[in-house]
Amino acid sequence: MKGANMAGQTILLVDDNTDLLELLSFALTGAGYVVQPAKSVLRAVEMLHDGTPPPALIITDLMMPRTTGWDLLKHLRDDANLRRLPIIVVSGAEAGECESLADVVLPKPLDPLELVSAVERLLAAPQQTSSPSHPG
């Protein structure tokens, strides 16, 4: 099984659309991940600072009421303890500059299997924290 070595890793999933949150949670749970859903950026930030270990990866929408996915991306990249977390943005809006803040940008409408595949690729990739220098 492709994602077997990553089974049980926690993913924070942030989207104000309840139906999409449930659909993506179902797909990720079916692939063996533990999903922590958050219907708002404020709730996601609370969860990130509640004293529990951080998730292995964060998936967020950009366009949400009040505090947006943009705000979450900036918060994550400004926090020394969270800035190395892999981030996938799933959005129907123009992604544009978020490509510099996120590891993967996927457009809506989204095939849940495409999301699972992106999660598996990101979590299987070596972390960028102390990678050796490459010549050239």
64-to-40, 51, 118 alpha-carbon distances in Å: 7, 25, 22
d(Cα 64, Cα 53) in Å, to the nearest integer?
25
Whole-number mean pLDDT of the chain?
Answer: 85
Backbone angles phi, psi at 60, to 5 degrees: -140, 150
Q: Which CATH number fits domain 4-99+106-124: 3.40.50.2300, 3.30.2320.80, 3.30.565.10, 3.40.50.620?
A: 3.40.50.2300
Task: Give per-residue pLDDT as tens, 12-60.
Answer: 999 999 999 999 999 999 999 999 999 999 999 999 999 989 999 999 9
* Predicted pLDDT at 54: 93
Which letter does DSSP use for residue 32 in this model? T
Q: Confirm if 14 and 44 have CB atoms less than 8 A apart.
A: yes
- Counting Cα atoms < 13 Å in the Cβ hemisphere of 136 gives 0
Tell me the whole-structure pTM to 2 decimals.
0.85
Close Cβ partners of 136 (under 8 Å, ≥ 6 residues apart): none
The full set of domain ranges for the chain reads: 4-99+106-124
Provide the phi-psi class of 51: left if phi over 0, else alpha when psi is between -120 and 50, else beta: left
